[in-house]
Each structure stands twice: as structure tokens, then as C-alpha cells.
Amino acid sequence: MGRAARLAGIARSLALGYAIPFRGRRLARLYAPFLGPGRLAFDIGAHAGNRVRAFRRLGARVVAVEPQPDFTRILDLLYGRDPAVTVVRAAVGRAAGEATLLVAERTPTVSTLSAPWVARVSADPSFAGVSWTPGATVPVTTLDALIETHGEPDFVKLDVEGYEAEALGGVSRPLRALSFEYLPAAREVALACVDRLAQLGPYEYNWSRGESRLLARSVWLDADAIRSFLGRLRPGDGSGDVYARLA
């Protein structure tokens, strides 16, 4: 039953990522200000690789980082013959090592390394029916280690289900541009990301709601303004991504 549920969850991920017409083109338009031919993207939490497809559509090189073996096999199948895509089988955190993945079998894209995040979102109605169980022990690398191996990224997409601030704790230099998820039930994670970026350099911010594939503001905001936006989030507002770029 567990394996069947997981396979169904993976199938849903593939359908959402690849089967909806024009979604890939809209994603590419969203990332076009950050990436272009020959640029380098880190896709942290690559899952089934729909962002990889968008980055490659723009001509960027991609380092796709994903700890779940089912998804790394999908990434190998879809992109293994593309010399501009490197698949890294690991999670990303504050320090290199190993960690136990908390696995959501029916919705594997919300598997996480963060037990506090699971505790926060379990009470949220949007996560009704989702449960997590301890899974495999996975290797953990850091953004600094990825940069040392693959080079300085032009854009980093962080989607690691409540572990984004931990991932940013493992980089010691400013990133040119990045995105990280926000969720009303766990806004503390996004706020911690803003605080960490403030330590690294002068950033300006924007956001994209849900799957809109559009930035919400025509003018970018300072750190206090994005903190205010995150602080006003209420249950039912839905999730999205904060975008940050060096000012």
C-alpha cells in the first residue's frame, strides 16, 4: 500500500510538472530576468525536474540537487543525456553529513528534513491527510560545497519544505539571485531566510503567489517591506515563493 501510494504521488508530481500546457513556457518567462544561455542555476529540491526544464529552455546550465532516490531516477531518465545538467543525489543543509528524511508517501514533494516544519504545517488544513514517516538516511551537502564544485550560480531555487533557512546557513558568500518558498503556517522559515540574506549582503525582494508564474510587484522591495508582507500572511492565503536579488 505504501509503495502504491508513493507511485501515485510521483505520477501526480509528473502530471503537474509536465502535462499542463504552456506551464513550462510561463516558468521560463518568470526566470528569464535571472538566467540565459551559459548561465548557471542551482535547483535545490529539484523533485521531478520541471524547473530544470524551464532553466534549460533558457539555455542555462543546471545543477539539480535532490535527495529522494525515486526523483533522482526520474531526473536521470529525463536529463541524464544532457551534458548541461548535473544531478546531485543529496539534501542541502547548514553542514555536510547525513540526515533522516521525513517522507510523505502520498505527496512525496513535501518530504523534508525539518521535524519542526512538519509539526507546524500538520495543523494547517491545506496539509489535511498528509502524514510523514522516517525514511532513508540521505547525504547532506552545503551550498558552499556545491559552489566550490560547480561554480558560482546566477540563480538558486530553494524548495526544500521548511529547510530553506538551514540551506542558507551553509553558504558564506552572497548569492546573486534566489527564490525560497513561503507558507503562512510556517512563515518563520521565510523570515529566517530574509534575516540570513541580510547577513550576506544588500538584497531586494519580490514574490510570486502559488503557481501564478508572475512576480507580484513591478518595483522590488527592501527587507523590511518583505518582512511586512510575510508577517501579514494569514491561513488560507496560500503558499508562494519569495525572490531575492542583490541590490
Q: What is the pLDDT of residues 68-80, one digit of tens each?
A: 999 999 999 999 9
| SS3 annotation, 201-224 | CCEEEEEEECCCCCCCCCCCECHH
Q: What is the pLDDT of residues 105-161, one digit of tens each?
A: 889 999 999 999 999 999 888 898 899 999 999 999 999 999 999 999 999 999 999
The reported pLDDT for the residue numbered 245 is 98
Helix spans in 15-153 (H): 23-31, 50-57, 69-79, 115-121, 143-150
pLDDT at 12 over 80: no
Angle between helices 50-57 and 23-31 (to 10 degrees): 60
Q: What is the pTM assigned to this prediction?
A: 0.92
Beta bridge partners of 224: none
The identity of residue 171, as a single letter, is V
The identity of residue 39, as a single letter, is R
pLDDT at 1 over 60: no
Q: Which domains does the chain have, with CATH numbers?
A: 2-246 (3.40.50.150)
What's the angle, vertex CA 143, arms to CA 223 and CA 239, rounded to 5? 50
